[in-house]
Amino acid sequence: MPFTDEDKSSIKLLRQVKLWGAKCNCKEFSNKKWAVSSVRDLLCNIDTMNAISRKAGSGRPRTVKTEQNIERVAELICSQEDKPGSSKHFRDIEKLTRISCSSVQRIAKRDLQLHVLICKKVHLLSDSNR
């Protein structure tokens, strides 16, 4: 179960003032249902770095969603070289940029906030049907 910032600061305070370990914290806050190993990891961070936040640069680095790749995808999606009103498909962009099709779709949707608009022919409504 993830810790809130308030939980982390209270664990840090109890560690510094009363020198409580992981089991004491879990017994004191039994309603929170923390895992002892999670509290132990947090206490290890508190002891080594004296901080409750993660280390800078920890975690998996982003490889595809860089600013340069987002700009390339935006340029290719919005290009209308073939005919006006058309743009390149995700699979064509995948071949040109060597970025996977799902990543291209994610960039278009999340970063560029683009949505697919498909024009479909429908019945013509007469005045009486309106």
Kindly state whether residue 19 falls inside one of the protein's structural domains: yes
Same domain, 77 and 41: no
Does 39 reside within a domain?
A: yes
Q: Into how many domains does the chain fold?
A: 2
Structure pTM? 0.48
Do 45 and 71 sit in the same domain of this protein? Answer: no
Q: Which domain holds residue 91?
A: 67-111
Comparing 124 with 109, the larger pLDDT belongs to 109
Residues 75 and 106 in one domain: yes
* Residue 57 in domain: no
Q: What pLDDT does residue 71 have?
A: 93
Residue (of 65, 76, 63) closest to 106 by Cα position:
65
Q: Cα angle at 26 between 24 and 28, to 5 degrees?
A: 65
- Counting residues of the chain whose pLDDT is more than 90, the rounded percentage is 35
How high is the mean pLDDT of the chain?
86
Which helix (H) or strand (E) covers residue 94, if one does? helix 90-97
Contact 11, 42 (CB under 8 A): yes
Residue 61 lies in a domain: no
Check whether residue 44 and residue 73 sit in a common domain. Answer: no
CA 2 vs CA 45, 58, 62, 92: distances in Å:
15, 17, 23, 41
What does the pLDDT look like over 75-98, one tens digit per residue? Answer: 988 876 666 656 678 898 899 999
At residue 1 the predicted structure's pLDDT band, cuts being 50, 70 and 90, is low
102 has a pLDDT exceeding 80:
yes
**120 domain residue, yes or no:** no
Same domain, residue pair 12 and 45: yes
45 and 78 assigned to the same domain: no
Residue 120 to residue 3: CA distance in whole angstroms:
49
Average pLDDT (37-64) is 86
Determine, yes or no, domain membership for 58. Answer: no
Q: What is the mean pLDDT of residues 17-27?
A: 91
